[in-house]
Amino acid sequence: MPSIRKYTKDFGYSYSFGVFPTLELLTHRPEHVIKVVISPKGYKNHGIEEIQLLARKNHIEIEKSEGIVEKISGSENTYCFGIFKKFENHIEKNTQHVILVSPSDMGNLGTIMRTSLGFGYKDVVIIKPAADIFDPRTVRASMGSLFTIRFQYFSTFKDYQQQFPEQHLYSFMKDAKVSLEEASFEKPFSLIFGNESSGLSGEFRSVGTSIAIPQTKLVDSLNLSIAVGVGLFEAQRKAL
Amino acid sequence: MPSIRKYTKDFGYSYSFGVFPTLELLTHRPEHVIKVVISPKGYKNHGIEEIQLLARKNHIEIEKSEGIVEKISGSENTYCFGIFKKFENHIEKNTQHVILVSPSDMGNLGTIMRTSLGFGYKDVVIIKPAADIFDPRTVRASMGSLFTIRFQYFSTFKDYQQQFPEQHLYSFMKDAKVSLEEASFEKPFSLIFGNESSGLSGEFRSVGTSIAIPQTKLVDSLNLSIAVGVGLFEAQRKAL
């Protein structure tokens, strides 16, 4: 591989910054790891010891350099990062899907993967255009969940629908037919959420059941990752 | 006031970056606004027109400069910002309180204020040490909710408790007595959440009822703002 540079989207590889995401990478995707870089600052950190053990066990190169870790992560408080090859991934049938239509914020995308996994949703669908799932900011916000979940990009929602016709669809939008408090969910189901600024377009009102999360008029909307968190928790709790 | 510089915590004033937060500032706290700065880039934006109307109505100075907006906000996509004096605020009795013990991330703090307001909680308590509620990053993540909610800092949780002895307390922690699915909430209630990394300390297990949000073992924890979102929604839904 070339010398280590700041990430851009066209790279064939990316970085996992921080101890926890790097541990997740080494645990779940060791075959994709190119190298691990550790700062001497982190030698006393218990997680760093674990990272070194896992890297050795998997015959992964360990480089030691405070300068590179700080330069590439842009943070003085990062002790290590992994370099990993980007990988393909596919979602499964007959499970619950989280569908994000054109998410644009990398922090949200990562947080949503972490939340999905936390509530037992292992399949995340992303409809393009969308934020880069491999951007280090996404990886970090996901706390390494990216390495455990299954994800798949589709060019259009129709493409997804044709491939998974058996899913029950629930579209989350402000101007919806049913309130989340009254909604019921039938498995296997897909929960659909729109873009941070624009939400889901009007045509989704007739895609399955449209659901609104009750909220006061004191805010314009909820943050996307909060809406997803509440929607995922409630759907799982109520599902038939 | 002095020349416009990048924000630091010791300033007596702060900035609201972006159209929506600045509109919220002018609508709810006009008496605290020192000045509004607008970039000519935003002249076609409908919100910018509204900002100019509100500023004129309240006799607030409007400065026009693309350079200052970009320099101070650090973003090319910001059209304006307000400069406002920091203000004191107090929470009310006999309402539902959201209590954050030592939140450290400004994005989370802002998102939690927005979520609180969205779910009808108007009183937010912050136990020190804590992130700066007036930092422009907090203000931005709050989408201006900071200008509508009531908030109050306390040095210790005990100080809060002594002042509001009539509140029913619910402490959210992983190692808790009751699952959120089984919990019930009695008004007036206070929902207590810990720091992003460390959560609530063990002593909170005996502070009111401790509650756990059910989650898989596939993640270490939920993001704080997600846990707060789910907790606030459920408590409001179930409250007696």
* Ramachandran assignment for A174, one of left (phi > 0), alpha (psi -120 to 50 degrees), beta (any other): alpha
Task: Please check whether residue A147 is in contact with residue A22, taking contact to mean a CB–CB distance below 8 angstroms.
Answer: no
Q: Residues 6 or more apart from A100 whose CB is under 8 A from it?
A: A109, A112, A124, A125, A126, A127, A130, A193, A228
**Average per-residue pLDDT for chain A:** 96
Residue A2 pLDDT:
59
Q: Which has the closest alpha carbon to B201: B190, B188, B210, B191?
A: B210
State pLDDT tens for residues A87-120.
999 999 999 999 999 999 999 999 999 999 999 9
Question: What is the full DSSP assignment across A178-197?
Answer: EETTT----SSEEEEE-BTT
What is the H or E stretch that residue A24 is in?
A: helix A19-28
If we measure between CA atoms, which residue out of B64, B69, B78, B137 comes closest to residue B106? B137
Task: Give me chain B's average pLDDT, please.
Answer: 96
Residues 6+ apart with CB under 8 A from B3: none
Q: Which of A19, A22, A105, A119 to mutate to test the interface with B (most CBs of B within 10 A)?
A: A119
Instruction: Give all domains of chain B, ordered by start, each with its CATH number.
Output: 13-85 (3.30.1330.30), 97-238 (3.40.1280.10)
Cβ of residue B226 closer than 8 Å to a chain A Cβ = yes
Burial pattern A179-190, b for ≥16 Cβ within 10 A else e, equals ebeebebeebbb
In which band, very low, low, confident or very high, does the pLDDT at B44 lie, cut at 50, 70 and 90?
confident
What's the pLDDT at A1?
58
In this structure, the number of other CB atoms found within 10 A of the CB of residue A224 comes to 23
Neighbours of B27 (CB within 10 A): 14
**Could you tell me the strand order of the sheet in which B33-38 lies?**
B13-17, B80-85, B33-38, B61-64
Mutate to test the interface with A, among B222, B232, B238 (most CBs of A within 10 A): B222
Distance from CA of A47 to the nearest CA of B (A): 14
Could you tell me the pLDDT band of residue B195, with boundaries at 50, 70 and 90? very high
Dist CA B176 CA B209 (whole Å):
8
Tens-digit pLDDT profile for residues A38-87: 999 988 899 999 999 999 999 999 999 999 999 999 888 899 999 999 99
First to last CA, chain A: 50
Task: Output the pLDDT for position A44.
Answer: 87
pLDDT in tens, A146-171: 999 999 999 999 999 999 999 999 99
Q: What is the DSSP string of A69-118?
A: HHHHH--TT--EEEEEE-------SSS-EEEEES---HHHHHHHHHHHHH
* Measured distance CA(B180)–CA(B168) in Å, rounded: 16
CA distances (Å), A227 to each of A188, A231, B206, in order? 20, 6, 31
| 3-class state of residue B25 by DSSP | helix
Q: Does B197 touch chain A (CB under 8 A)?
A: no
Question: Residues B222, A146: contact at Cβ < 8 Å?
Answer: no
Backbone angles phi, psi at A48, to 5 degrees: -65, -40
Residue among B50, B1, B7 nearest B26 (CA): B50
Residue at B160: amino acid letter = Y
Instruction: Label residue B1 by pLDDT band (50, 70, 90).
Output: low
CA distances from A34 to A14, A193, A235, B15 (A): 10, 34, 39, 43
Q: How far apart are the first and last CA of chain B?
A: 50
Confidence of residue B89 (pLDDT cuts 50, 70, 90): very high
Put simply, the chain B residues between 28 and 87 with a CB less than 8 A from any chain A CB are none
Query: Cα A187 vs. chain centroid, distance in angstroms?
Result: 22
* Total residue count of chain B as it appears in this document: 240
Interchain CB contact of B230 with A (< 8 Å): yes
Task: Detail the DSSP E strand segments found in A102-235.
Answer: 123-127, 150-154, 168-172, 178-179, 189-193, 209-212
**Contacts of B59 by beta carbon, 8 Å cutoff, 6+ apart:** none
Interface check for B234 against chain A (CB to CB < 8 A): the answer is yes
